[in-house]
Amino acid sequence: MMADGRGFERSEFESRMSRAQSEMTSRNLDAVVITAPHNWRYFAGFATQFWESPTRPWFLILPRDGEPIAVIPTIGEPGLAKTWVSDIRTWPAPQPQDDGVSLMAQVLGDCPRTYGRIGWEMGRESIVRMPIADFDRIRAACAGLEFADASPLIWRLRMVKSQAEISRIERACRIGSDAYAALPAQLSAGMNEHDIARIFRAELTRQGADAIPFMAVTAGAGGYDQIIVGPNDRDLADGDVLFIDLGATYDGYFCDFDRNFACGRIDDDTSRTQDIVWRATEAGIAAARPGATPADLAAAMVSVMADAGASGGNVGRLGHGLGLQLTEPPSNMPGEETVLEPGMVMTIEPGMDYGDGKMLVHEENVVITEDGCRLLTTRAPREMWQIS
């Protein structure tokens, strides 16, 4: 499991389970039920892309005492048996008339009760991955058991990364950084955005990315107006700003950072904005340290942009946590008072509106250390990379 840095020791999962169990006691939960892909990977070490099929629900029950219990479709048993989870109960899914509902009701009913409360992924940035009609059925079948929100518990655990997790994110960031650096020499005016995406995908694969779940490619004359749709069927032209945002993974862990490229000569307004946002990023990195809050990070970045007369961006926040998902809590925004601590991995992502409906967004990834933070990405140059 450990060759080439992939997979985790059993002790990593035992530690996650033990932390979860402590949190269950302090939050008065008898168990937590996991249904979502990234939580499955976090607690069970189960790595698959089979989640692309919406057909079958999967359940992992983490009791407050003892080992995890998997309640899964038969198709998953031989694969899951290779993980540290040993208590595996199956049903022959798909079975539309009762797809794990009665089996789950029985397993939850058998769970030792102290508080009469079962946690599910019900809250912020969480999804219960199963038909909600079946969730309602299980809830009705578990009379006397309160279904409570376990997402604060789950995010509390996932938010602080182990050294093993940080090394995966760092590797994903290196792969992304090296692939970005190799890109300007391969791009030129006249290329279609889809071709640019294909070239970048090929480069990332060559550099060792396991998967590329997120890649936005968009360009516009003198700047772009949004950052989440694209590539589109548009040819890169002289005077364009090209924006690429990347979420690539290594061993399941993401990098998430963007880069801006100037195609030929860009106008002075864009160049001026580029420098402001670059300096805002510097301020965000400087502010990232234990004891600071994501609100502090946001304030540091906003301050640089406001001093330069900017009105701010419309993306709603200026960065976020990063790990098994492209974005994780917390968010760099006013009101987010989670205290940063060593092991948290954050994106530093200032965005600024300028000109006529244009925006410029920068992004780097850092890990909080004992006395500050360490940059995981290769810092973007102060002036945009040039494409000719």
| Shortest Cβ 192–a copy of itself spacing (Å) | 8
Q: In this structure, is the dihedral angle defined by the CA atoms of residues 190, 356, 218 and 209, taken in order, positive or negative?
A: positive
Within 190-219, the residues that bind a copy of itself by CB under 8 A are: 192, 194, 197-198, 201-202, 205-206, 208, 210-216
Q: Is 357 in the site for a copy of itself (CB under 8 A)?
A: yes
| Shortest Cβ 213–a copy of itself spacing (Å) | 5
Pairing, β 345-348 against β 364-368: antiparallel
Nearer to a copy of itself among residue 204 and residue 276 (C-beta): 204
Contact call for residues 51 and 34 (beta carbons, < 8 A) = no
Within 87-126, the residues that bind a copy of itself by CB under 8 A are: 92-96, 120-126
Contact call for residues 266 and 222 (beta carbons, < 8 A) = yes
Nearer to a copy of itself among residue 96 and residue 291 (C-beta): 96
Within 34-63, the residues that bind a copy of itself by CB under 8 A are: 46-50, 52-56
Q: Is 350 in the site for a copy of itself (CB under 8 A)?
A: no
| Shortest Cβ 107–a copy of itself spacing (Å) | 20
Binding mask 3-32 for a copy of itself (x = CB under 8 A): xx-xx-------------------------
Query: What DSSP designation does 50 have?
Result: G
Give the Cα separation of 25 and 217 in Å (integer).
46
Answer for which of 101, 317, 344, 373 binds a copy of itself (CB under 8 A) is: 317
Within 61-80, the residues that bind a copy of itself by CB under 8 A are: 73-79
Q: What are phi and psi of 293, to 5 degrees?
A: -115, 160
Nearer to a copy of itself among residue 247 and residue 350 (C-beta): 247
With CB under 8 A as the contact rule, which of the stretches 104-112, 174-182, 267-275, 316-324 interacts with a copy of itself? 316-324
Beta bridge partners of 91: 73
**Is the preceding peptide bond at 73 cis, omega within 30 degrees of 0?**
no
Within 254-313, the residues that bind a copy of itself by CB under 8 A are: none
Nearer to a copy of itself among residue 192 and residue 378 (C-beta): 192
Give the Cα separation of 348 and 363 in Å (integer).
5
Under rule CB under 8 A, how many of the chain's residues touch a copy of itself?
81
| Shortest Cβ 216–a copy of itself spacing (Å) | 7
| Shortest Cβ 56–a copy of itself spacing (Å) | 8
Give the Cα separation of 122 and 370 in Å (integer).
33
| Shortest Cβ 101–a copy of itself spacing (Å) | 12
Nearer to a copy of itself among residue 143 and residue 228 (C-beta): 228
Nearer to a copy of itself among residue 4 and residue 371 (C-beta): 4
Give the Cα separation of 274 and 270 in Å (integer).
6
Contact call for residues 87 and 70 (beta carbons, < 8 A) = yes
CA distances from 60 to 8, 18, 86, 317 (A): 19, 15, 11, 32
Q: What are phi and psi of 61, to 5 degrees?
A: -100, 125
Q: Is 320 in the site for a copy of itself (CB under 8 A)?
A: yes
| Shortest Cβ 202–a copy of itself spacing (Å) | 5
Give the Cα separation of 178 and 185 in Å (integer).
13
| Shortest Cβ 18–a copy of itself spacing (Å) | 25
Nearer to a copy of itself among residue 293 and residue 369 (C-beta): 293
Within 222-241, the residues that bind a copy of itself by CB under 8 A are: 225-229, 233
- Residue located via tokens 């006249």: 190
- Residue located via tokens 């912020």: 124
Q: Is 135 in the site for a copy of itself (CB under 8 A)?
A: yes
- Residue located via tokens 């920068």: 362
Residue environment code for 39-59, b if the CB has 16+ CB neighbours within 10 A, otherwise e: bbbbbbbbbeeeeeeeebbbb
Q: What are phi and psi of 152, to 5 degrees?
A: -60, -35
Within 137-156, the residues that bind a copy of itself by CB under 8 A are: 149, 151
